[in-house]
Structure 1
Amino acid sequence: MADKYNSMSELEAETIENKDWEVVTRDLDSQVIITAIHGGGIEPGTTEIADLTVQKGEYDYFSFKGTKSKGNEDLHVTSRNYDQSVLMEMIKNKTYAVAIHGCEGDENIVYIGGKDQKLIHEMTRQFEQLNISVEQAPGHISGAHDDNIINCCKTGAGVQLELTPGLRKMCFDNQKFNKKSREDKHNWSQFMDRFTTAIVKSIQGV
């Protein structure tokens, strides 16, 4: 489905901050940034996975959260058109950049893409140790283009993790990722704990 907005600057001009969406950041002056650029209700579960990862790794954090009561998918702007000024400023000096995304799919799979081959290899190894199915991301979600926001870091190479709905739902004890379920930290599952630890271990291992 085509994006409603051609860029983040267009989206921000035509929508209302703190009503339709909000930006949540943490700047710890880390060399690592974890992002959920389609967070909140856009790709449910991605904000929470990114949030727990940054807490464990003490990394910098950016999440653009869709907060509309319905129709959050309208706030999806593809990573290659993601000219969001706060993130562009945050990411440019980072050595490692990881994006948590949601994708379609019936199976519980992590599709891994981006240009940081060392980190991709390490993450694949860590996830497979948890018996998580990992596949190379197909072309339309490959994260391999130079203008993908995750590759706008200092090294020009980030990692994009695309998580199917089933995998994201495993991060919550009740297997649901509606707003109430995902924002209740008591509902965050052991799987989510292990998955986010694997991301941190991967970054530490490269």
Structure 2
Amino acid sequence: MDKFKSMTELKELTKEGKDWEIECENRSSIVTILALHGGGIEPATTELAYTIAHCGDYNYFSFKGMRSKGNNELHVTSTHYDDQIALDLVRGSQRTVAIHGCEGNKSVAYIGGSDDRLIELITESLEDIGISVREAPHHISGTQENNIVNMTQTQGGVQLELTAQLRKELFKNRKSSRKNRENKDNWDDLMYDFADAMKKAIERA
């Protein structure tokens, strides 16, 4: 159960620059990459979303938890995600991919959402680089109409849920604390291979 019912409530009761910050790059692309629970909330999602967006010259949005502890309190579920900056980017896009993190000590990417064509292409592209991709279980399926990822011009998006183990593998030392995440020299080749695979899939769509 989330502590805050919406992003509006979260922003009213927390402090920007202390508890959280937003990174956003509007590149006037028809594709947007999201890390809705970035920073310390779901570690490594910001870094991966940033890398994918940079690789493909896509729009980028990340809401980053900045606390030394208790970042999980800053989690607002995707069906209650009323951040206007993120909404504007998604509504102006034909395709959107949201990068999330879930629990799991096996290296798996769970894929969901309502953009069936892109789901198929991303699955194929990630499997080509050796990533285990599985259909997302119901509770993280990302198929709801009111999930922000599906509020595109085509009424569909893709939600990727990466296990904790897979996210650790994006870093050379397999550690995803803030210091280790923000040091780009610690980013593993997998970070860039993942981004390149995503770009290939999106371009084919």
Task: State the TM-score, normalized to the length of structure 2.
Answer: 0.99
Q: In structure 2, what residue type is equivalent to 1:166?
A: Q
CA shift at 1:76, angstroms?
0.2
Inter-partner Cα distance in structure 1 for 2:30 and 2:3:
33
* Correspondence 1:150 to 2:149: yes
Distance in 1 between residues matched to 2:190 and 2:176, nearest whole Å: 14
Partner of 1:183: 182
Sequence identity (%): 49
1:153 positional shift? 1.0
Specify the code of the residue in structure 2 equivalent to 1:100: I
Q: What is the CA distance between 1:91 and its match in structure 2?
A: 1.1
**Is the partner of 1:99 in helix, strand or coil?**
strand
Count of aligned positions: 205
Q: CA RMSD in A?
A: 0.6
The one-letter amino acid paired with 1:87 is A
SS at structure 1 position matched to 2:160: strand
Answer yes or no: is 1:37 the counterpart of 2:31: no
Aligned 1:18-33 pairs, distance under 5 A: 18-33=17-32
Residue 69 of structure 1 is matched in structure 2 by: 68
How far apart in 2 are the matches of 1:105 and 1:53? 23
Alignment partners' CA distance in 2, 1:159 and 1:62: 15
Deviant stretches of 4+, over 3 Å = none
Q: Deviations over 1:96-154 (max 9, x none)?
A: 10000000112100000000000000000011111211100001100000000000111
SS of residue paired to 1:181: helix
Structure 1 counterpart SS, 2:155 = coil
Which segments of 5 or more consecutive residues in structure 2 lack a partner in the other structure? none
Query: Partner of 1:121 in structure 2?
Result: 120
Q: State the 1:69 CA deviation.
A: 1.3
Partner Cα separation in structure 2 for residue 88 and residue 50 of structure 1? 17
How far residue 196 of structure 1 moved from its aligned partner, in angstroms, is 1.0
1:16 maps to 15
Aligned partner of 1:202 in structure 2 is: 201
Unaligned runs of 5+ in 1: none
Deviations, residues 66-102 of structure 1 (Å, cap 9, x unaligned): 0011100000000000011111111101001000000
Structure 1 residue 192: deviation in Å? Answer: 1.0
Query: C-alpha distance in 1, partners of 2:36/2:76?
Result: 9
